[in-house]
């Protein structure tokens, strides 16, 4: 299995003749939407960086698309156009299918929380995700992580935009994914608590993950203050640098 990190939460999982695009934000720098904060962090139109030069070559090979939720940094207008024009089969939460169908996307499979479904010769399981601490999680809407087992590949957990919850803990300790992906930007709006894990919960995730961890959702949208370097330093302090892959945009790793 090859995992290609493109930008933010956008990644490609390549397995055999299948190429799975995850949470595509494909627009050029500054085209996905307005700034997410005006005061807490520097106002900037998102995304704040361009896609790496090799990204679209990989995206064009897409055979399937996984969507964790519908925020514009996980599905932008450019991605909608791509998925619609190619009629790429889309796999999503049962809570999102109606909206995606209205957009003209080819929803081929809907997933429910903690229900196992067949997927590309293996299985996929929908995992609850909570997009923020406290009150802010409710207006942020529904999010779904995915636990995936594919034939002759390592199991992978896409935790999606979430804080550390009992459901996250259950996946790490009971399902024991061989690769676990965690959103590490600690996103925040101008008010309310963070929308993603604080550093203490990121490190808790790393400690409790049974095998390898991939850190994403870093340095691509203006409301995510945590940097790759900060994360590297904190992971090093707990002696787990070898366990965690913090990819640069456009970087690929084999698992």
240 lies in some domain:
yes
Q: Model's pTM, two decimal places?
A: 0.95
140 lies in some domain:
yes
pLDDT for residue 40 is more than 60: no
pLDDT recorded at residue 39: 54
* Cα distance between residue 178 and residue 193, in whole Å: 31
pLDDT for residue 38 is more than 70: no
254 lies in some domain:
no
Q: What is the pLDDT of residues 144-180, one digit of tens each?
A: 999 999 999 999 999 999 999 999 999 999 999 999 9
226 lies in some domain:
yes
pLDDT for residue 36 is more than 80: no
pLDDT recorded at residue 41: 56
Average pLDDT of every residue of the chain? 94
Cα separation values, 203 from 126, 183, 197, 217, Å: 23, 12, 9, 15
202 lies in some domain:
yes
110 lies in some domain:
yes
Number of domains in the chain: 1
CATH number at residue 35: 3.60.15.10
Boundaries of domain holding 208: 2-247
Burial bucket for residue 12 (CB in 10 Å: 0-12, 13-18, 19+): buried
252 lies in some domain:
no
24 lies in some domain:
yes
């Amino acid at each position: 299995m090859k995992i290609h990190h493109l930008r933010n939460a956008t990644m490609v999982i390549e397995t055999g003749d299948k190429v799975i695009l995850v949470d595509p934000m494909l627009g050029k720098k500054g085209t996905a939407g307005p700034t997410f904060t005006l005061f807490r962090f520097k106002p900037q139109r998102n995304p704040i960086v361009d896609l790496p030069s090799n990204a679209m070559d990989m995206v064009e090979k897409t055979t399937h698309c996984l969507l964790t939720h519908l925020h514009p940094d996980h599905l932008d207008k450019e991605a909608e156009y791509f998925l619609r024009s190619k009629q790429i089969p889309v796999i999503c939460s049962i809570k999102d299918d109606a909206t995606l169908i209205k957009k003209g996307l080819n929803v081929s499979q809907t997933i429910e929380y903690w229900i196992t479904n067949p997927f590309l010769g293996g299985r996929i399981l929908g995992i609850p995700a909570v997009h923020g601490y406290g009150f802010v999680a409710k207006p942020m809407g529904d999010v779904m992580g995915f636990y995936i087992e594919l034939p002759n590949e390592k199991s992978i957990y896409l935790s999606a935009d979430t804080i550390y919850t009992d459901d996250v803990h259950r996946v790490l300790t009971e399902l024991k994914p061989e690769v676990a992906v965690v959103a590490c930007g600690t996103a925040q709006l101008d008010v309310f608590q963070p929308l993603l894990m604080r550093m203490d919960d990121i490190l808790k995730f790393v400690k409790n993950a049974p095998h390898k961890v991939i850190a994403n959702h870093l340095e691509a949208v203006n409301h995510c203050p945590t940097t790759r370097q900060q994360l590297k330093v904190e992971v090093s302090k707990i002696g787990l640098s070898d366990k965690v892959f913090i990819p640069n945009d456009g970087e690929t790793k084999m698992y």
